[in-house]
Amino acid sequence: MKHPPKKYPLYNQFISAAGFESPADDYLEARLSLDDLLISHPSATHMVWASGNCQQPRGIFHKDLLIVNRALEPRHGDMVVAHIDGQLTCKRLDIKNRRLVSSNPSYPSIDIRDGQDVSIEGVIPFSVRGHRGWP
């Protein structure tokens, strides 16, 4: 049985490290469903855990939860999950230069050769980071 997405309060204040006023109803902008925000195509979306730090400069860290959307058309510069030579990888798509780019210079980017077994499994529109760990 499918449950409707839970909606959480969204306040129209940005928070600085110095803090902000109490999140009172005066500042309530809307109620927001994380499903509605993160999952635009439910039947074409899955999640995977990030492993390693090759995309850390782009804000994807080890053990982040990656939202992977197969319905989105991959565009130049998108973060994608690619299947290449039997392995899955998370890279930035460089269509102009036919490459899968590692954002961390310690890791090599991958040049896509003619005839190479490569498929884009999905675009990563969002990632989620746990600040207290994951269950």
pLDDT digits (tens, 9 = 90+) for 96-129: 999 999 999 999 999 999 988 899 999 999 999 9
Among residues 85, 74, 75, which one has the least CA distance to residue 118?
Answer: 85
Question: 35 or 80, which is more confident?
Answer: 80
Statement to judge: residues 65 and 122 lie in one domain: yes
pTM, whole model, 2 decimals? Answer: 0.81
Bridge partners (DSSP) of residue 82 are 89, 120
* pLDDT tens-place string over residues 2-20: 777 777 777 665 656 555 5
The residue ranges of DSSP E strands in 35-86, in sequence order, are 45-49, 65-69, 79-84
Which CATH number does the domain housing residue 61 bear? 2.10.109.10
* pLDDT tens-place string over residues 44-72: 999 999 999 889 889 999 999 999 999 99
Statement to judge: residues 103 and 67 lie in one domain: yes
Q: Say which residues have a Cβ less than 8 Å from residue 2's Cβ, sequence separation at least 6.
A: none
Among residues 28, 41, 110, which one has the least CA distance to residue 72?
Answer: 41
Given this model, what pLDDT does residue 16 score? 60
Count of structural domains, the chain: 2
